[in-house]
Amino acid sequence: MGKEYNGSPKLHLLADSKNRRIPWYLGVFGLCVLFYFLGSWKNARIPSTDMAKTNLGVCNSAAPKGSSSPSPSSSSVKLDFDAHHTVGSNESLTEGKMTFKPCSMKYSEYTPCQDPVRSRKYSREKLMYRERHCPAKNDVLKCLIPAPPGYKNPFSCPRSRDYAWFANVPYRELTIEKAVQNWIQVEGDKFRFPGGGTMFPRGADAYIDDINNLIPLTDGSIRTAIDTGCGVASWGAYLLKRNILTMSFAPRDTHESQVQFALERGVPAMIGIMATERMPYPARSFDMAHCSRCLIPWKGYDGIYLLEVDRVLRPGGYWILSGPPINWQKHHRGWERTPEDLKAE
């Protein structure tokens, strides 16, 4: 190919193409300017009062008939922020409200759907009578549950793990019946929780350390746990500092409600029991499950309770079961248990 020069046909064609596009560019630019001025002229013709009505149409539509319309001035317009979607817009908001009087002091320990009298009507099979049994609609209690006399705000964390006000849970039964197991002690106007338990006489902390020798509790693989038959929930209380959140549950039993002690300590807990209903948790909810001599008949009913634990454990989760130690023959008197009972267990 020869070298191109200024008079070559290729350069002349390129220049002609650019010259043809200039009128098209000018036409598009002119149309944009024209439409801009047309829009400005149209907006200038709308009165300011019409614009105010348009912008405040929602607010004005809510005003009652016969009321004066607000001034179009932005400084004098009063916006309406009241709700207007309630049933019967002309009715007073105070109409239809229900008020409840305080209940009698005998209901200070009342727990919904946990009436001891009603529970006796249900079967002892699978401990069905200790499940939640709610009253009929006509028997629902319609009063405010009073706090125990002298009730105080619970201690704040972390002190709440070890102390609770005696007036908030005024029962000494556990301090007597579980004295040798070091569950709970009374110190003046407070309860103290030393962290003991039936299966961890050296304390919950040392018991958890023993567990840590078998499974990893500190590498982050275990974050949630469930404690069946939790007592006063010391196991869950001492797992908190290991960044493991434990849901503890136990039935309302002869020791009043042990779960109430757990809640006063600020430990997640609820009244519940493994009986005829599934636990109220989705499948694969927990990384670890625990039973420290929780008296659940694991081998009974074709292993239905074991299947339930398996349901709420994630794949690869851990189930910890601790029972009477091998030297129970020497200690059964301190536990107020018979040799036959412990042998059977």
Q: What is the pLDDT of residue 55?
A: 43
- Its pTM stands at 0.64
Average pLDDT, the chain: 79
Angle at 35 between CA 30 and CA 39, to 5 degrees: 150
Which residues lie across from 292 on neighbouring strands?
322
Distance CA 145, CA 76 (A): 49
Percent over 70 (pLDDT), the chain: 72
Residue 112, SS3 per DSSP: coil
- pLDDT of the chain along its 345 residues, tens only? 444 445 555 545 555 666 667 787 788 888 888 878 777 776 665 554 444 444 444 444 444 444 444 444 455 667 776 766 655 545 555 566 778 899 998 888 888 888 888 888 999 898 899 899 999 888 888 899 898 888 999 999 889 999 999 988 888 777 666 666 678 888 899 989 888 777 788 889 999 999 999 999 989 999 999 999 888 899 999 999 999 999 999 888 765 678 888 999 999 999 999 999 999 999 999 999 999 888 888 888 999 999 999 999 999 999 999 876 656 666 666 556 677 776 776
- CATH number of 116-344, picked from 1.10.3470, 3.40.50, 3.30.980, 1.10.10: 3.40.50
Residue 289 — φ and ψ, nearest 5°? Answer: -125, 150
CA–CA separation, 213 and 324 (whole Å)? 20
pLDDT, tens digit, for every residue of 89-132? 455 555 667 788 999 988 888 888 888 888 889 998 988 998 99
Collect all residues with Cβ–Cβ distance below 8 Å to 253 and sequence separation of at least 6: 130
For the chain, which residues make up each domain, given as ranges? 116-344
The per-residue pLDDT for range 28-82, each reduced to its tens digit, is: 888 888 878 777 776 665 554 444 444 444 444 444 444 444 444 455 667 776 7
Question: What pLDDT shows up at residue 62?
Answer: 42
CB 256 within 8 A of CB 191: no
> CB under 8 Å to 283, separation ≥6 — which residues?
311, 312
Please work out, in degrees rounded to the nearest 5, the angle formed at the alpha carbon of residue 306 by the alpha carbons of 304 and 307. Answer: 65
How many beta carbons lie within 10 A of that of residue 55, not counting itself? 13
